Amino acid sequence: MVLDLRDLLLSPGDSVPFDYAPDLSELLSESIPEIIGEPRAVGSVRNSAGLLTLTADVSAVARGVCARCLGEFDMPLDRRISVTLVREEDAEREDIDKYVISGDCVDVDGIVTTEFILNADQAVLCREDCKGLCEICGADLNDGPCGCVRGTDPGRAKLRQLLDGYVL
Ligand SMILES: [Zn+2]
Ligand SMILES: [Zn+2]
């Protein structure tokens, strides 16, 4: 979605609203295989005394695959984006955290998608304290202990000894 800012650039104090369905397909990966439903981006570009600010509330729900237990879950992806826009002729070298716009138009979709991906969570977890799967029998440890005695194979026991020496 491209917004024409010609009128806004001439009227400090004004804002131009937008409300559209952003394309978040660039987010898709093995851990986020699907966007569920239609994402929505609601926001505006405001001209405050010549300074252009784009804010947007983006909401979407994705299907996530937990990095620990491999379970699928609905993952809400709600994010507020707020960035400063600078016109090409006003841009300086150090404007690295600002978006430079050329001409009178701004590519809202490009900015929203970039910000969304830049701030995507590193680890996809069904919940913060997910216990994951048993490394021996593969049981989901969130459902309770599986009864396996873990950490007893010779290599691991040796490693544990070494680590204990350091930790204790
Ligand atoms: Zn999990
Ligand atoms: Zn087990």
The string of pLDDT tens digits covering residues 126-143 is 999 999 999 999 999 999
Same domain, 35 and 57: yes
Query: Separation of 133 CA from ligand 2 center, angstroms?
Result: 8
- Taking the CA of residue 161 as centre, how many other CA atoms within 13 Å lie in the half-sphere pointing to its CB? 7
Number of domains in the chain: 2
- Ligand closest to the CA atom of residue 65: 1
Contact 76, 24 (CB under 8 A): no
Same domain, 81 and 150: no
Same domain, 96 and 56: yes
Tell me if 57 is assigned to some domain.
Answer: yes
Same domain, 86 and 25: yes
H or E element in which residue 45 lies: strand 34-48
Tell me if 124 is assigned to some domain.
Answer: no
Q: Low-confidence residues of the chain, pLDDT below 70?
A: 93-96, 121, 151-168
Could you give the strand order of the β-sheet that contains 72-87, starting from the edge strand earlier in sequence?
15-20, 34-48, 51-65, 72-87, 99-101
Query: Separation of 70 CA from ligand 1 center, angstroms?
Result: 6
- Ligand closest to the CA atom of residue 144: 2
Q: pTM (2 decimals)?
A: 0.75
Q: Which two tokens stand for residue 164?
A: 């204990």
- Ligand closest to the CA atom of residue 70: 1
Tell me if 123 is assigned to some domain.
Answer: no
Query: Separation of 131 CA from ligand 2 center, angstroms?
Result: 12
Same domain, 16 and 92: yes
Same domain, 105 and 135: no
Tell me if 14 is assigned to some domain.
Answer: yes
